[in-house]
Amino acid sequence: MLTELGDGVYVLEIPGPIPVNAGIVVGDESVAVIDTGTVESDAKQQLDAVARVTDLPVRYVINTHHHGDHSFGNWWFLPAVVVGHDRCRLRLVGEAGERHREMMARLVPAAAEQVQAVPVTAPAVTFDRSCDLHLGNVSLRLDYLGRAHTDNDITVRLTERDLVFAGDLIEQSAPPVVIEGFPAEWGPTLRALEAVPEARFIPGHGVEVNSAFVGMQAQAFEQIAETCRAAGSAGAALDALGTLPHSVRAVLGAQAQVAVARYFATVQA
């Protein structure tokens, strides 16, 4: 489903093997898309959606992070310039990209063949902290705010409108996925995102949320991190999970256990 969020700004919910939000931003000179789905048919749906709203070409493809449900459609937008964080490229280029494709194929067995057929395409333009893209009358600010869902999450903000595409830094349709995450840093990263005044946030999955939602998710990670710090070991932290407020457990669901394991895997004791 294609939803207009504002003048020339759209979010396409791609059903795909993995439902994901893809952004389309139309300036008076060119077009940028944000994330590209998992397989060829996802990218084709997004290209169709672009053609429905503008005749202008897609000049930029932005990946909010390297995960295949956000980046595997990149190839179908070439010769557009693919833009992402430095480490997004590292996770998608060469053998690393092939390993990630194998992982994604195992994740969606029903679409494994389509995933295997994806020519994984890493960002050609990368940055560490921030980057501005200009589409004519519309500009986009890309920011790396710190590690969270991965080590290469970026946010995409429409500078005039306080509208933020947040990728999987926030998830609305399910608990945030922590398997490659950094639970000790996720909270502070979200606090930086929450600081965007009066912003509307488009998560990687699910419907638009506000800064209160971002704050709630930040608090859940802060409390998990605090619990782990106080417990001192994964076993003791897992035992302590039951004592966390219901609101925290509601945000993280079964990902709370994963967060404890990742906390101790990614933080020096």
Number of residues that bind Zn ion (CB under 5 A): 2
Kindly tell me which of 35 and 194 has the beta carbon lying closer to Zn ion.
35
Question: Taking a C-beta distance cutoff of 8 angstroms, is the pair 239, 228 a contact?
Answer: no
Q: How far is the CB of 229 from Zn ion (least distance, A)?
A: 26
Question: Taking a C-beta distance cutoff of 8 angstroms, is the pair 8, 138 a contact?
Answer: yes
Q: How far is the CB of 75 from Zn ion (least distance, A)?
A: 19
Distance CA 58, CA 51 (A): 10
Longest CA–CA separation in the chain, Å:
58
Question: Taking a C-beta distance cutoff of 8 angstroms, is the pair 201, 210 a contact?
Answer: yes
Q: Near Zn ion by CB under 5 A, which window of 74-82, 95-103, 104-112, 162-170?
A: 162-170
Residue with the shortest CB distance to Zn ion: 67
Distance CA 28, CA 250 (A): 43
Kindly tell me which of 61 and 241 has the beta carbon lying closer to Zn ion.
61
Q: How far is the CB of 41 from Zn ion (least distance, A)?
A: 20
67 binds Zn ion (CB under 5 A): yes
Q: How far is the CB of 108 from Zn ion (least distance, A)?
A: 13
Question: Read out DSSP for 85-153?
Answer: EHHHHHHHSHHHHHHHHHHHHHH-GGGHHHHHT------SEEESSEEEEE-SS-EEEEE----SSSSS-
Kindly tell me which of 71 and 126 has the beta carbon lying closer to Zn ion.
71
168 binds Zn ion (CB under 5 A): yes
Q: Near Zn ion by CB under 5 A, which window of 45-53, 112-120, 168-176, 259-267?
A: 168-176
Distance CA 76, CA 61 (A): 10
Q: Near Zn ion by CB under 5 A, which window of 135-143, 167-175, 220-228, 241-249?
A: 167-175
Q: How far is the CB of 164 from Zn ion (least distance, A)?
A: 16
Q: How far is the CB of 146 from Zn ion (least distance, A)?
A: 16
Distance CA 62, CA 217 (A): 24
Q: Near Zn ion by CB under 5 A, which window of 33-41, 128-136, 161-169, 205-213?
A: 161-169
Q: Near Zn ion by CB under 5 A, which window of 49-57, 164-172, 186-194, 232-240?
A: 164-172
* C-alpha distance from residue 43 to each of 37, 151, 215, 236, 246 (Å): 6, 25, 32, 45, 39
Per-residue interface string for the shown chain with Zn ion, residues 41-60, x marking contact by CB under 5 A:
--------------------
Q: How far is the CB of 230 from Zn ion (least distance, A)?
A: 29
Kindly tell me which of 20 and 49 has the beta carbon lying closer to Zn ion.
20
Q: What are phi and psi of 34, to 5 degrees?
A: -120, 110
Residues at the site binding Zn ion, with contacts judged by CB under 5 A: 67, 168
